[in-house]
Structure 1
Amino acid sequence: MKKLLTIGLGAALFLGGCMADSSSSNNNTEDNENTEEKLEEKVVIYSPHGKDILGQFEKRFEKEHSNVDVQWLDMGSQEVLDRVRSEAKNAQADIWWGAPSVMFDQAKDEGLLAEYKPSYAESLNDSHHDEDWMWTGTSQTPEVILYNTKEVSKEEAPKDWDDLLDEKWKDEIIIRYPLASGTMRTIYSAMIYREDPNDPTKGYEWLKQLDQNTKEYSANPEMMYNKVAKGEGSISVWNMPDTVMLKEEKGYPFEFIIPESGTPVLTEGIAIVKDAPHRKAAEAFYEFVNSKEAAKILAEEHYRIPTRTDVDDLPEWIAETEIKEMDVDWKVFQENEEDWMKYWDENIKNKSKEVKE
């Protein structure tokens, strides 16, 4: 069992823009220009984190850096990757904030990211950053089975992945459309991987059976949340932090089951886009949203489990939650995920329904 408790000791993170040394009145003009250089007037963020987190950190960052306009686009992590790819010759984004590490590895291999080693590097375990510092981990995300407590009791709820294939859940499962979601791509790929990473046939068969029980693939997370909350379906698969947030903050009748056989635990990350047009502002934003203060805000208000090992006094649900982590070779994930998901989309999605029609 793995306890997701990230505690430790560390020095406080130094944040802030470049400031002039006012201790001497003899500094020359060139020195003053260098030390007083302002950040660019804007920074552009691509992120799947949603308007609540993005809006909050936009305001906090702009309060500290009054000359910088934070502009963000909220979209699925796969959509971010696709967009960064399409803009590779003329980068529009500065920061990509939020996606599973395998997606950042893929972007790294395609030459889409820029190296940046942050000031808090020593507070990260080796597994929570790229070896060349093309990305760093911001949070840990266990995947879970989500259910509507008004429709399904704790005793009845699926206890493991294979339970989702039981006929009693036919047309009770509503799933976020996987191809646009890093969370869902990871869950689906994990189902293939655990069967046999060298031969996806058994995994594809498993997903075919899940498709038979799936009522709908929702276009975005909010649609999935609302439909499950209303009882249009009673079961989904998603991540633990969002499930806790929806229950605590929005009053949704949600609870989660940690699969007994083990679950993939994602490292969510952040990266600077190659040739970012506002590099200095990008670095400042990167540091800002990964400070110890920001990590505590994200844990307490947005239910994110930090990767930094020097953040103390975390919420009880983080400190006391025990997870059986699936043993995953993330390199294998990276190499195969695209093909696995393409096969699912072309050969499995909704095929059981088409046959009946």
Structure 2
Amino acid sequence: MFRKNRLFVFLIVALMLIMSACSNSTGGGNESSGEKENNSGGEKAAENSGKLVIYTARDQTIVDQVVGMFNEKYPDIQVDVLTMGAQQVLERIRGEKSNPQADFWWGGTQSAFMTGAAEDLLEPFKPSFDASILPEHKDKDGRWYGEMLLPEVIMINSDMLSKEEAPQDWDDLLDPKWKDQIIIRGVLASGTMRTIYSAMIHEQGADNPEAGYEWLSKLDANTKEYAQDPTNLYLKLARQEGSISLWNLQDILLQKNEHNQPFDFVYPESGAPILVDAVGLVKGAKNLENAKVFYEFLFDPETRATLAEDLYQIPTRTDIDKDQMPDWFKDIELKSLDLDWGVMAEKEAEWMQHWDENIKGKN
């Protein structure tokens, strides 16, 4: 009897062990596999979902198209965009340094980005397209990359002036016959205008800015008004309150061809400041991985070709097939002024403060 009981107990224990082993190899294994799948899915979701905060100086038309394209590819990433002047972006990121609110800085002059890098506002990053960007169009430590090139040119109302009648070079703008015909976008808040004015000072001699200040004083004498923002500038030129301005080629073509504005441009004979319009990751960004996703998306060859066709952007990537570029680009010769961008970045704040305090509206 005792043997039978012992055998019975042995069989029960053996059966329990077998059931436990089966449970570990099936249910337990599935749970482990499920954890791996969940973790993997979670990592993937983290890359393609969540939030992204962008500070940008881009025109709203560009913002709407690019963010729309991005959301088509990454629908689970919520993109919040705050639009302001290029200089204001720098100042805001600087003011938020101890508690960054933005993840991605989209658009600004290389001077602004050089300043941002020097002040430790930007996160180093080596993207997949690094080798396709020329050294002069990126930061050597990967803190910013030029997204596109922006020639700064002479803008005209084509209902008031033909290209032949318009000023053909920078010094022509100082001719008294253009008095009260020039409307300028407010300089201090505009990366474009700060670049143009700094370039004019540099052209007269960067070692001693007095000649450059005199040049800007003569331009101020011919300037009718300083417009509050780009929208205000376009409105005043379209209303024929003035016939001439200084602006970037991309936005002129965009307003002319997409918004039917009576605008055209003259590419200055001596050359143009060709601004490297850059992007970068904000140091301490709360959504850094999503910012990197947007970074890569912006520079994707397909994105660049679309933006060249639709928004008149000149990409910095050197590996894009020339046949992909639109006809408007093939007709433009990009002649650049010989500028030391490092000097301009170093001196810009000083030069612009002097202009604001001693030249603006005083001639």
1:287-333 Cα shifts (integer Å, max 9, x gaps)? 11221111112111111100111222101221231122101111101
Q: Tell me which residue corresponds to 1:29.
A: 35
Moved over 6 A (4+): none
Q: Tell me which residue corresponds to 1:320.
A: 331
Distance in 2 between residues matched to 1:154 and 1:279, nearest whole Å: 46
Distance in 2 between residues matched to 1:66 and 1:49, nearest whole Å: 22
In structure 2, do the counterparts of structure 1 residues 119 and 349 end up closer, same or farther at CA, with 3 Å as the change threshold? same
1:163-191 Cα shifts (integer Å, max 9, x gaps)? 11111111110000011111100000011
Residue 191 of structure 2: which of 178, 182, 185 is its match?
Answer: 182
Task: Extract unaligned runs of 5+ from structure 1.
Answer: 1-24, 353-357
1:86-121 Cα shifts (integer Å, max 9, x gaps)? 100000000000011111010000010001111111
Q: CA deviation at 1:263?
A: 1.2
Q: CA deviation at 1:286?
A: 1.0
Distance in 2 between residues matched to 1:315 and 1:36, nearest whole Å: 41
Distance in 2 between residues matched to 1:57 and 1:172, nearest whole Å: 35
Give the aligned residue type for 1:99: G
Q: Tell me which residue corresponds to 1:282.
A: 291
Task: Extract unaligned runs of 5+ from structure 2.
Answer: 1-29
Residue 143 of structure 1: which of 123, 133, 152 is its match?
Answer: 152
Greater fraction of residues in helix: 2
Distance in 2 between residues matched to 1:60 and 1:155, nearest whole Å: 39
Q: CA deviation at 1:244?
A: 1.2
Single out whichever of 29-38 and 269-278 deviates more from structure 2: 29-38
Q: Tell me which residue corresponds to 2:362.
A: 351
Q: CA deviation at 1:29?
A: 2.9
Distance in 2 between residues matched to 1:250 and 1:187, nearest whole Å: 25
1:295 aligns with 2:304: yes
Distance in 1 between residues matched to 2:226 and 2:33, nearest whole Å: 63
Q: CA deviation at 1:246?
A: 1.2
RCO higher in 1 or 2 (8 Å CA, sep ≥ 6)? 1
Q: Tell me which residue corresponds to 1:227.
A: 236
Distance in 2 between residues matched to 1:325 and 1:191, nearest whole Å: 13
1:41-97 Cα shifts (integer Å, max 9, x gaps)? 210001111222212222222232222110001111101001001100000000000
In structure 2, do the counterparts of structure 1 residues 135 and 35 end up closer, same or farther at CA, with 3 Å as the change threshold? farther
Distance in 1 between residues matched to 2:164 and 2:146, nearest whole Å: 35
Distance in 1 between residues matched to 2:288 and 2:236, nearest whole Å: 41
Single out whichever of 298-307 and 147-156 deviates more from structure 2: 147-156
Q: CA deviation at 1:213?
A: 0.6
Distance in 2 between residues matched to 1:153 and 1:120, nearest whole Å: 41
Q: CA deviation at 1:127?
A: 1.3
Instruction: Return the TM-score normalized by structure 1.
Output: 0.89
Aligned to 2:107, what secondary structure does the other structure show?
A: strand
1:138-196 Cα shifts (integer Å, max 9, x gaps)? 00111100111111122220001011111111111000001111110000001100000
Give the aligned residue type for 1:47: T
Single out whichever of 39-48 and 270-279 deviates more from structure 2: 39-48
Aligned to 1:102, what secondary structure does the other structure show?
A: helix
1:99 aligns with 2:81: no
Give the aligned residue type for 1:136: Y
Larger Rg: 2
Aligned to 2:247, what secondary structure does the other structure show?
A: strand
In structure 2, do the counterparts of structure 1 residues 65 and 324 end up closer, same or farther at CA, with 3 Å as the change threshold? closer
Q: Tell me which residue corresponds to 1:161.
A: 170
1:271 aligns with 2:280: yes
Give the aligned residue type for 1:351: K
1:194 aligns with 2:210: no
Q: Tell me which residue corresponds to 1:341.
A: 352
Residue 51 of structure 1: which of 30, 44, 60 is its match?
Answer: 60
Distance in 2 between residues matched to 1:153 and 1:125, nearest whole Å: 36
Distance in 2 between residues matched to 1:252 and 1:55, nearest whole Å: 20
Instruction: Return the TM-score normalized by structure 2.
Output: 0.87
Q: CA deviation at 1:28?
A: 7.3
Give the aligned residue type for 2:35: T
Q: CA deviation at 1:254?
A: 1.2
Give the aligned residue type for 1:75: M
Distance in 2 between residues matched to 1:124 and 1:180, nearest whole Å: 28
Give the aligned residue type for 1:331: G
Q: Tell me which residue corresponds to 2:96.
A: 87
Identity percentage of aligned residues:
47
Distance in 1 between residues matched to 2:176 and 2:55, nearest whole Å: 40
RMSD (CA atoms): 1.5
Q: Tell me which residue corresponds to 1:331.
A: 342
1:64 aligns with 2:70: no
Q: Would the aligned equivalents of 2:163 and 2:265 in 1 still touch at CA under 8 Å?
A: no
